[in-house]
């Protein structure tokens, strides 16, 4: 179908910036919460997702399970999507906010790679170059001792936690890229609300099971942390809504490029509220990753525009 035109020029890009800001503030609140496991925070986020999606499912009469032939794809979309969320929240908790945010922006690069493997989409030399740029950026952020020596500066806590956070962020990015490939496979045969429903339900079930196994369930000791938990759910939901609205009225390419404002907001919030100055290694890694993700988005955008013109002809 055709894209709806924006009510005013740049409205879709404004929605994208607003979405990036809401996601970044939610990440900041996550850093401010004390002694609450990332799995529990994810469980609260899933509850908010379910509360938002349930009226939509009833209104659009989509059902709760979806088409029979698509349920297995929806299950894996929900499982991988919720896994990506838990891992990302863990990365936010144990490593600098900007570092974790930058690593998540390698997702478009890994999406192209996975789409080439599983969907037989074209993978060019440019895509390979962007992948190498993304890997270089991650290496600059992780700074493994065998390349950078044993004295690693500019990290939070121990290097062991920094490395665990980096691995979690990369695994989160791969999981998120896998969900996009699954959504491409499913196509438009499944309503967007149903996809989020699987994400929230499977995520909540998985988080509850994990909390019992880890014995990590606990309510925050103070009212401030409880407010932060609620705000994380509300802001995360708001960010998702505005990003969806942006994609409805603007092409995916410009939205993907403008979404790199996530990185800018992460750097600003980290300096202002966490008193943690990013190192030059992080800045260099951020430039590599942003260049890689922007290049991937521009190539996909130009390719879609070219195909649209060919259809018109």
Q: Are 287 and 133 in contact (CB under 8 A)?
A: no
Assigned domain for 39 exists: yes
Assigned domain for 293 exists: yes
Assigned domain for 5 exists: no
Alpha-carbon span 220 to 249, nearest angstrom: 40
Q: Which helix (H) or strand (E) holds 91?
A: helix 71-94
Q: How far is CA 279 from the centre of its chain?
A: 23
Assigned domain for 188 exists: yes
User: What are φ and ψ of residue 104, in 5° steps?
Assistant: -65, -20
pLDDT for the residue 4: 47
Q: Give per-residue pLDDT as tens, 185-243.
A: 776 677 777 888 888 899 999 999 988 888 877 776 667 888 888 888 888 888 887 88
Residues of the chain with confidence (pLDDT) below 50: 1-6
Assigned domain for 2 exists: no
Q: Give per-residue pLDDT as tens, 29-44.
A: 988 887 788 888 888 8
Alpha-carbon span 259 to 102, nearest angstrom: 12
Q: Which spans in 187-260 are helix H?
A: 192-214, 223-249, 252-258
Q: Are 13 and 243 in contact (CB under 8 A)?
A: no
Q: What is the pTM of this model?
A: 0.82
pLDDT for the residue 87: 93
Assigned domain for 272 exists: yes
Q: Which domain holds residue 202?
A: 11-310
* DSSP conformation letters of 8-40: STTHHHHHHHHHHHHHHHHHHHHHH--S--HHH
Please state the domain count of the chain.
1
Alpha-carbon span 70 to 58, nearest angstrom: 19
Assigned domain for 6 exists: no
């Amino acid at each position: 179908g055709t894209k709806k035109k924006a009510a005013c020029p740049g409205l879709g890009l404004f929605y994208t910036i607003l979405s990036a800001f809401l996601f970044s503030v939610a990440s900041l609140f996550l850093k401010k919460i004390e002694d609450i496991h990332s799995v529990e925070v994810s469980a609260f986020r899933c509850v908010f997702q379910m509360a938002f999606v349930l009226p939509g499912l009833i209104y659009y009469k989509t059902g709760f399970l979806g088409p029979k032939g698509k349920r297995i794809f929806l299950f894996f979309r929900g499982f991988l999507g919720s896994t990506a969320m838990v891992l990302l929240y863990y990365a936010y908790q144990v490593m600098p906010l900007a570092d974790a945010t930058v690593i998540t922006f390698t997702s478009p690069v890994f999406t192209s790679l996975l789409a080439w493997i599983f969907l037989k989409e074209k993978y060019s030399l440019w895509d390979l170059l962007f992948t190498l740029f993304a890997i270089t950026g991650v290496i600059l952020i992780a700074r493994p001792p065998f390349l950078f020596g044993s004295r690693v500066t500019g990290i939070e806590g121990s290097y062991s936690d920094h490395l665990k956070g980096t691995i979690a962020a990369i695994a989160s990015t791969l999981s998120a890229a896998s969900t996009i490939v699954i959504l491409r496979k499913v196509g438009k045969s499944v309503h967007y609300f149903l996809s989020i429903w699987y994400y929230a339900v499977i995520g909540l079930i998985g988080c509850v099971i994990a909390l019992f196994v880890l014995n990590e369930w606990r309510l925050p000791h103070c009212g401030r942390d409880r407010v932060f938990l609620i705000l994380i759910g509300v802001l995360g939901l708001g960010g998702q809504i505005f990003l969806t609205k942006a994609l409805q009225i603007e092409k995916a390419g410009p939205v993907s490029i403008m979404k790199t404002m996530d990185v800018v907001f992460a750097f600003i919030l980290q300096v202002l509220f966490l008193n943690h100055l990013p190192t030059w290694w992080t800045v260099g890694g951020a430039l590599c990753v942003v260049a890689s993700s922007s290049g991937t988005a521009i190539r996909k955008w130009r390719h879609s525009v070219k195909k649209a013109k060919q259809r018109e002809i």
